[in-house]
Amino acid sequence: MEETPPGSQELKKGSTIGYVLPFVVFIGFLAIHPLVPVPQPVRFLSILALLLIVSRNILPPRPSRLFASVLLGIAVFSIWIGPDVLIPGYRSSFLFSNSIVGHPEGATPPADRNSLFFLIFRVLGSVVTVPIIEELFWRGWMMRWIAVRDFTRIPVGTYNVEAFWIVAALFASEHGSYWDVGLVTGVIYNFWAVRTRNLTDCVVAHAVTNACLAVYVICWGQWQYWL
C-alpha cells in the first residue's frame, strides 16, 4: 500500500479551505442579512482579508488570454441584460417571478442608491471580491471535486460532462430570477475554464461582466440587477 506523505492531508485540507471558505462566508452574509444587515464595507473588507489569508497563491499570477477574457466579459454582460432590453416585461413572467426563484426587485434600499460610500464598496465587492470567490468555488473547486473527490489531482479546466452541467445549473440557481441568463453565463464561464485552464482568465471575464453591470445599474438606474 502506498504511504501518504507526511503533511499531505493538511495541504489538501488547506487547499479546500482556500477555494471554499470565502464563498461560504459570502453566502453566510447574504443569509443573515434579513435579520442582521452587515454593512457593505464590512462585507468587502472581511472577504478581502479572508482571501488574503486562506486563498493567496491559488490563482495564477496573470491571465493567459487577457484581451479575449475582457471581450468575453463584455459579451456576457450583453447576454445578461439582453432579454429585458429586447422584450419589455420579459422578467415579469411566472418563470422568473415566483415563490421559488424570487422576484427581480433588487436588494438595494432607496437610501443607499444615493450614498457614494455604499456605492463604492458595493462596486468593489462586485468587481474585486465576488469574481474571485465565485471562480475559486465554482470553477476552481466544484468542477474538479465533482469529477474527482481528491480534486487537487486534476488541473483547473479538466472537462467532465457531469461536473460541467451540474456547476452550470447550480450557478444558475444562485442568481434567482435571473436563472436563465445565469445558466448561459455558467456554461460560458465553464467553457472558458476548460478552454484556458487558467482560473485568472475566468476571474477577469467575471470581473468585467460585473463592472459593466455595475455601470449599467448605477448610470441607468437598473437596480433590479443587484440582487
- pLDDT, tens digit, for every residue of 82-138? 999 999 999 999 999 999 999 999 889 999 999 999 999 999 999 999 999 999 999
Residue 68 has pLDDT above 50, yes or no: yes
- pLDDT of amino acid 1: 40
In three-state secondary structure terms, 102 is: strand
pLDDT tier at 11 (50, 70, 90 boundaries)?
very low
* 98 three-state secondary structure: strand
Residue of 212, 172, 218, 190 whose CA lies nearest to 81? 212
pLDDT of residue 227: 87
| Residue 6 pLDDT > 90 | no
Helices (H) and strands (E) in the chain, counts: 9, 0
- Taking 60 as the threshold, does the pLDDT of residue 215 lie above it? yes
Taking CA atoms, 127 is separated from 13, 112, 211, in Å, by 28, 18, 6
Can you tell me the mean pLDDT for 140-156? 96
CA–CA distances in Å: residue 132 to residues 19, 47, 59, 137, 177: 10, 10, 9, 9, 23
Tell whether the model's pLDDT for residue 12 goes beyond 60: no
Asked if pLDDT for residue 81 goes beyond 50, the answer is yes
Arithmetic mean of pLDDT over the chain: 93
The CA-based angle 155-125-135, given to 5 degrees, is 15
Query: What is the C-alpha R_g of the chain?
Result: 18
What are φ and ψ of residue 84, in 5° steps?
-75, -30
What confidence tier does 34 reach under pLDDT thresholds 50, 70, 90?
Answer: confident
